[in-house]
A and B are shown apart, each in its own frame.
Chain A
């Protein structure tokens, strides 16, 4: 491996800006770190270059641990967004800078400079000053300068950011060509998904300091695992749906199993479905569709963009219920985004206001467990008030999902995660909800903000995998650290302890391997509930994810955490023991 990052964490004033990131980048690979501004991608790149220290974790380059090696001795080449050329030096001096530092002989320097200028197609520019070159040329010089000392890895920090579209594309091609020619391991940071697709062998998507997913561009585009990656990599319609044995059911219709990949043996439950705009088919009526029927709709907007036509369609017959693409509190209804090729336009032209039948060719179901939230309380007013709890609103908007309000005693299918207020009657409500079929119950104290730390614990081992999946889903949406709390009863005989330690390590590797979740681990000794309560009391801004597989005796076991004296939010994850089918 050329670059290995192991649980790299960097904090600014206590807030993690790079949060437990682990990546292995192979020899000669072109790796793109993609994320919005403030996602920590540039900080991570600077950490690899040695310009920023890390608080936790290790960085290795070609098997050499460089975590504490200064930038001068790391042997990397770094290219900046604003070129960072030395303006008082000629192009020749700029390129030879690293060679001069290394006291290379003048003749050898000249030879290497010629070679590099040829590589970036700037022969004969030696004696110019940077200010006499165009932006694209300056960035080429910066690339040549970064390669002069034959570094082991090339790092590019938004190298095209300051250039206009046409030059950007040209330079992109040059960089890809140079990278292939030299076979140098390269990491590029960008917020532009098009750029990432054009260049990357693999892409790592970052948000809120966390590395959400890694994969080949096509893999990430067609089979994202998270809402963020689905919507950040190209346009996507997110819809709530029910996954059943026979297929994916939307509020209005049932699409057959052919369109979506049905998870084997899954219980029927609410899921988030991703439909790419180009996977949608329009027809005059349902019978004319070649693909699975989704809903009927009305065309709201038609925009011609050259090769493609962009449409926005309002769903009718109740299917709007299912839509998530917009943040829940944004103005206006969510509209289905559709793109069609010239060929499709000719086959069936549409105008605004026209009624159409909508079909989908391909649906991708996200494996994310927290699909939506429903606030439960004794009256609808209380439930609505609870649904406006700041933490809940924050979570819902970050997860791009919806919060609805319902009355506790009302029977009916429970969808998504249930939310209740902490208090003396919380225990009763939790038991009722779990018996009704809820899989996750979030218990909120009156005041709670976005957490900085997510504590993870499962009281019953059967709930482990589900708990990890929920924890991974939550941690992708908040800038918090995940900490697994292992608790060993004080009465444990010494012979049992190695076994418990192994369980702890197993938990961490399962989290990493199956859910892509990086977390730290802590081992405590004592009784479960008091120990968790003590750990939660240590600091505010923590949330506990508690996995259980038995409802009976819940009150007796966890009253201290969920009763009226509760100070921290608790998310209960229920995985019934008999549900493994």
Chain B
């Protein structure tokens, strides 16, 4: 067991620890506790009924399924974007690098409306996809597209610094030992950036699960098919069914927490392997 206070060059442990506890309690834990309390005031049977209605089940499937899919897409393409930005010098690199952050800054409703107008049956891209039988707007594909957009910067920004740190020497060493490009990528680069990649994935996933603004415009919100859980919660609130809303929120909380915890544990395990004694 480590002692609570470790000597440090920076003073003010007491003060900063106090702030940390205060903010965590006031801003994160207290509202969550309220949610749990509100749910707890429900009878068990009613709770089960509310959270297992077909409409609710459909919304979980969409929310978590589309979020996972979007985060996975971002894992691949975010890595490629980060790789391009780190490894190559080309005109306009700085501009593209700045553009990456746009989804952070844009009000999510704006991105939702913009996406809808582009992917609607008569939109710029939608009109070419429609004849092929691909309907983006008002389907689960549209939801995934919106979640991919808002999650992308998380992967790029997590992977970029890790890629910058991959020493060229490592690749050179592997090359002189006879390894081809793909082998170097698979055995040297990927394992080195994997923790950062996982962090990016987690952040993108968490953000996608909680996303509301951009999705409601492109999804069309058809119950059972394109209705996400956060929207269902809002609908319950508008019906003054506070307890129903709280129950759904609680379910989201539990599933999200379980998934994030799993990913974090995986990551911690990987990191321990990589930097055994902090080199």
Task: Given A71-B172, A84-B170, A84-B173, check contact A98 B274 (CB 8 Å).
Answer: no
- Type the 1/0 row for B140-177, where 1 means its CB is closer than 8 Å to any CB of A: 00000000000000000000000000010110111111
Assess whether B5 is interfacial by the CB under 8 Å rule. Answer: no
Contact assessment for A82 and B167 in the assembled complex, using a CB-CB cutoff below 8 Å: yes
Q: Which residues of B contact A191 (CB under 8 A)?
A: none
- Type the 1/0 row for A121-153, where 1 means its CB is closer than 8 Å to any CB of B: 000000001111000000000100110110000
Contact assessment for B278 and A101 in the assembled complex, using a CB-CB cutoff below 8 Å: no
**What's the dominant secondary structure at chain A's contact region?**
mixed
Question: Per a CB cutoff under 8 Å, which of B169, B176, B275, B276 touches A71?
Answer: B176
Contact assessment for A102 and B178 in the assembled complex, using a CB-CB cutoff below 8 Å: yes
The docked-state distance in angstroms from the alpha carbon of A101 to that of B178 is: 7
Q: Which residues of B contact A46 (CB under 8 A)?
A: 172
A85-107 CB contacts (< 8 Å) to partner B: 86-88, 97-98, 101-102
The docked-state distance in angstroms from the alpha carbon of A80 to that of B167 is: 12
Assess whether A109 is interfacial by the CB under 8 Å rule. Answer: no
Assess whether B188 is interfacial by the CB under 8 Å rule. Answer: yes
Interface centre among B170, B172, B187 (most CB of A within 10 A): B172
CB distance from A281 to the nearest CB of B (A): 49
Assess whether A50 is interfacial by the CB under 8 Å rule. Answer: yes
The docked-state distance in angstroms from the alpha carbon of A296 to that of B255 is: 91
Contact assessment for A74 and B176 in the assembled complex, using a CB-CB cutoff below 8 Å: yes
Contact assessment for A101 and B172 in the assembled complex, using a CB-CB cutoff below 8 Å: no
Q: Which residues of B contact A71 (CB under 8 A)?
A: 172, 175-176
Assess whether B277 is interfacial by the CB under 8 Å rule. Answer: yes
Contact assessment for B177 and A101 in the assembled complex, using a CB-CB cutoff below 8 Å: yes
- Type the 1/0 row for A13-51, where 1 means its CB is closer than 8 Å to any CB of B: 000000000000000000000000000000000100111
**What's the dominant secondary structure at chain B's contact region?**
helix
Q: Which residues of B contact A159 (CB under 8 A)?
A: none
Q: Which residues of A contact B187 (CB under 8 A)?
A: 86, 97
The docked-state distance in angstroms from the alpha carbon of A578 to that of B176 is: 58
Contact assessment for A101 and B275 in the assembled complex, using a CB-CB cutoff below 8 Å: no
Assess whether B192 is interfacial by the CB under 8 Å rule. Answer: yes
Q: Which residues of A contact B125 (CB under 8 A)?
A: none
Closest residue to A78 on the B side, CB-wise? Answer: B176
Closest residue to B181 on the A side, CB-wise? Answer: A72
CB distance from A157 to the nearest CB of B (A): 9
Interface centre among A82, A129, A149 (most CB of B within 10 A): A129
Task: Given A51-B175, A71-B175, check contact A80 B279 (CB 8 Å).
Answer: no
A84-B167, A101-B177, A149-B177 known, 9 other contacts, Cβ within 8 Å: A71-B176, A77-B177, A86-B174, A98-B177, A101-B178, A102-B178, A131-B278, A146-B176, A148-B177
Interface of B toward A, CB cutoff 8 Å: 167, 169-170, 172-180, 183, 187-188, 191-192, 273-279
Interface of A toward B, CB cutoff 8 Å: 46, 49-51, 70-74, 76-78, 80, 82, 84, 86-88, 97-98, 101-102, 129-132, 142, 145-146, 148-149
Q: Which 9 A-B pairs have the closest CB atoms?
A: A131-B279, A98-B177, A84-B169, A84-B173, A78-B176, A71-B175, A88-B191, A101-B178, A129-B276
